[in-house]
């Protein structure tokens, strides 16, 4: 494989990391498949951009990642969600002519959930996989919220990664695969329930980078997908990218979440907390089930993207509670004195169960089960939203496991 022919080298004390192939990238970093020669293992090397602002954020990310590890150790009780959050193995600084990069070393994981959604041609991931993924994400969220005292703040498909059983086997297999096999997952425009087709999603981490090495599909070609989903009936995922995470009791910023996954309280400038993550996770689960983005707002000549976003929320789950509206710092930008939207007045109610039935052709029973599971996660008032610990034990989650 081309990517394996000219490795870059990263030295940190006694350890040498040979970077082979690009696993992925985000707004802040590029992640490489690398060989850690000290422990003779493959690792994922997250190399953060060199600008000082990114360095500062990366140092916070390392503190949070270290806290994730220590929160899982005695005397703290073991928590089943620990294994659904990525673990930091090491970190170091790398100096090169372009600047100083913070590098983080992680276990190698597989593709992110956006890749999985694309693999199913954006038509929705099979229900039994969605059920496993949902439960595991919620376990990870519960671990972060209750045991670590953290809020992730950037839940989206790209930040949930599929666990691969044995990276050594995968790499061995892929080294013998001809580079031409590296297929790109099929893409189609991802259409929102009200709009079509949508432009490129506005995102904190839309990849803009087109370096010569290929992303994860080159290292783990689509054609040999069995190598990282060894048993297609079972899947394990991990919550990744703590780059925007924050302590529950002291926030780094109020400007959080990627647009489509942003909760109502953040848009209107009201108090937010761990339940902000629950909103985003509901958006992720909807996207897994349907292949469509739940909220994909756009601006119009008389309204902003935020107005449209709030309108879509009201259409889906109903009017904003007045107490929430009046606690929002930016309420006057969106609402009139009666707590009604000012700039979009024609709203078409389309509740979640009806949407799932009408547009996505779920049976009534499945649409009801899914809506009654997601509904409590999509309550507009953050204090009324279901907690991860409650959702994990939610019996209706079993209900949506039935094959659709």
Please list every residue from 190 through 229 that binds ligand ADP, using CB under 6 A: 205
Least CB distance to Mg ion at residue 261 (A) = 12
Please list every residue from 146 through 175 that binds ligand ADP, using CB under 6 A: 158-159, 161
User: Distance between CA 110 and CA 226 in Å, rounded?
Assistant: 12
Nearer to ligand ADP, 109 or 270 (CB): 109
User: Distance between CA 140 and CA 155 in Å, rounded?
Assistant: 11
Least CB distance to ligand ADP at residue 44 (A) = 3
24 forms part of the interface with ligand ADP (CB under 6 A): yes
Least CB distance to Mg ion at residue 398 (A) = 31
**For residues 262 and 294, is the Cβ–Cβ distance under 8 A?**
no
Binding mask 55-94 for ligand ADP (x = CB under 6 A): -------------------------------x--------
Residues in CB range of 33: below 8 A, 6 or more apart? 19, 20, 21, 22, 23, 42, 43, 44, 45, 108, 171, 219
State whether the Cα torsion 268-307-352-205 is positive or negative.
negative
Nearer to Mg ion, 25 or 286 (CB): 25
240 binds, among ligand ADP, Mg ion, none (CB under 5 to 8 A by kind): ligand ADP
Nearer to ligand ADP, 24 or 274 (CB): 24
Any alpha helices (H) in 143-259, and if so which ranges? 167-175, 216-219
DSSP for 288-312 reads HHHSS-S------SSS-HHHHHHHH
241 forms part of the interface with Mg ion (CB under 5 A): yes
User: Distance between CA 122 and CA 322 in Å, rounded?
Assistant: 37
Nearer to ligand ADP, 44 or 356 (CB): 44
Catalytic residue among 122, 154, 292, 368: 154
**For residues 163 and 109, is the Cβ–Cβ distance under 8 A?**
yes
221 binds, among Mg ion, ligand ADP, none (CB under 5 to 8 A by kind): none
User: Distance between CA 34 and CA 46 in Å, rounded?
Assistant: 10
161 binds, among ligand ADP, Mg ion, none (CB under 5 to 8 A by kind): ligand ADP
46 among annotated binding-site residues: yes
User: Distance between CA 308 and CA 210 in Å, rounded?
Assistant: 32
Least CB distance to ligand ADP at residue 107 (A) = 6
75 preceded by cis ω (within 30°)? yes
Nearer to ligand ADP, 109 or 344 (CB): 109
**For residues 340 and 252, is the Cβ–Cβ distance under 8 A?**
no
User: Distance between CA 125 and CA 403 in Å, rounded?
Assistant: 11
Residue selected from 31, 324, 370, 377 as contacting ligand ADP according to rule CB under 6 A: 31
DSSP 255: -
Least CB distance to ligand ADP at residue 37 (A) = 18
Active site residue 36: no
Least CB distance to Mg ion at residue 128 (A) = 27
**Nearest CA to 267 among 341, 275, 192, 259?**
259
Residue selected from 1, 21, 23, 355 as contacting ligand ADP according to rule CB under 6 A: 23
Nearer to Mg ion, 147 or 205 (CB): 205
Q: Residues at the annotated binding site for ATP?
A: 46
Question: Which parts of this chain interact with Mg ion (CB under 5 A)?
Answer: 26, 159, 205, 241
Question: Which parts of this chain interact with ligand ADP (CB under 6 A)?
Answer: 23-29, 31, 44, 46, 86, 106, 108-109, 112, 158-159, 161, 205, 240-241, 243
User: Which residues does the annotation mark as catalytic?
Assistant: 154
């Amino acid at each position: 494989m081309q990517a394996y022919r000219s490795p870059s080298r990263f030295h940190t004390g006694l350890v040498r990391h040979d970077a082979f192939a690009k696993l992925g990238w985000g707004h802040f970093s590029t992640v490489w498949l690398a060989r850690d020669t000290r422990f003779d293992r493959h690792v994922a090397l997250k190399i953060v951009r060199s600008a000082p602002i990114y360095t500062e954020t990366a140092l916070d990310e390392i503190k949070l990642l270290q806290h994730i590890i220590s929160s899982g150790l005695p005397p703290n009780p073991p928590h089943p969600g620990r294994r659904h959050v990525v673990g930091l193995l090491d970190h170091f600084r790398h100096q090169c002519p372009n600047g100083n990069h913070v590098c983080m070393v992680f276990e190698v994981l597989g593709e992110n959930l956006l890749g999985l959604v694309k693999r199913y041609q954006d038509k929705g991931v099979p229900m039994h996989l969605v059920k496993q993924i949902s439960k595991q994400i919620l376990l990870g969220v519960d671990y972060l919220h209750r045991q670590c005292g953290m809020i992730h703040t950037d839940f989206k498909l790209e930040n949930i990664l599929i666990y691969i059983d044995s990276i050594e086997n995968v790499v061995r297999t892929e080294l013998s695969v001809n580079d031409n096999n590296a297929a790109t997952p099929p893409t189609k425009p991802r259409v929102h329930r009200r709009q079509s087709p949508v432009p490129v999603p506005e995102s904190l981490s839309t990849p803009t980078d087109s370096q010569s090495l290929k992303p994860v599909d080159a290292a783990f070609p689509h054609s040999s997908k069995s190598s990282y989903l060894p048993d297609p009936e079972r899947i394990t995922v991990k919550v990744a990218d703590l780059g925007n995470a924050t302590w529950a009791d002291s926030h780094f910023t109020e400007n959080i979440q990627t647009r489509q996954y942003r909760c109502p309280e953040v848009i209107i400038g009201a108090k937010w907390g761990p339940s902000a993550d629950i909103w985003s996770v509901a958006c992720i689960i909807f996207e897994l089930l349907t292949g469509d983005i739940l909220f994909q707002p756009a601006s119009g000549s008389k309204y902003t993207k935020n107005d449209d976003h709030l309108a879509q929320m009201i259409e889906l789950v109903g009017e904003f509670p007045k107490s929430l509206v009046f606690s929002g710092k930016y309420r006057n930008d969106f609402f009139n004195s009666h707590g009604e939207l000012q700039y979009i007045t024609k709203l078409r109610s389309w509740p979640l169960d009806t949407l799932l039935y009408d547009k996505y052709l779920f049976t009534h029973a499945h649409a009801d089960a899914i809506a009654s599971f997601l509904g409590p996660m999509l309550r507009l008032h953050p204090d009324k939203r279901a907690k991860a610990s409650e959702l994990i034990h939610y019996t209706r989650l079993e209900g949506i496991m039935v094959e659709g």
